[in-house]
Amino acid sequence: MAEQGTIKRLVSDRGFGFITQADGTEIFFHRSKVTGSFDSLTEGQRVSYEKAMDPRRNKETADEVTLS
């Protein structure tokens, strides 16, 4: 089931960002997990994503990030 959130911060030169989730917490995403163009994203946009586990950091990350 896809989650909904808002892009809070983009670090374009490093290729990642953070999404504010419905519960107010933030979740990390990498440019490789964006469906479409990472460069077309802007802060404040609504997105859909799937939650995935990053085994190296043992934290949830956003996967399959798409504009809502």
- In tens, the pLDDT along 15-59 reads 999 999 999 999 999 999 999 999 999 999 999 999 999 999 999
Q: Is a pLDDT exceeding 90 seen at residue 1?
A: no
Q: What is the pLDDT of residue 2?
A: 93
Mean pLDDT, to the nearest integer, of 2-22? 97
Alpha-carbon separation of residue 5 from 27, 29, 55, 60, 62 (angstroms): 9, 12, 23, 14, 10
Burial of 17 (0-12, 13-18, 19+ CB in 10 A): buried
Q: Is a pLDDT exceeding 80 seen at residue 6?
A: yes
Geometric angle at alpha carbon 66, from 4 and 14, rounded to 5°:
105
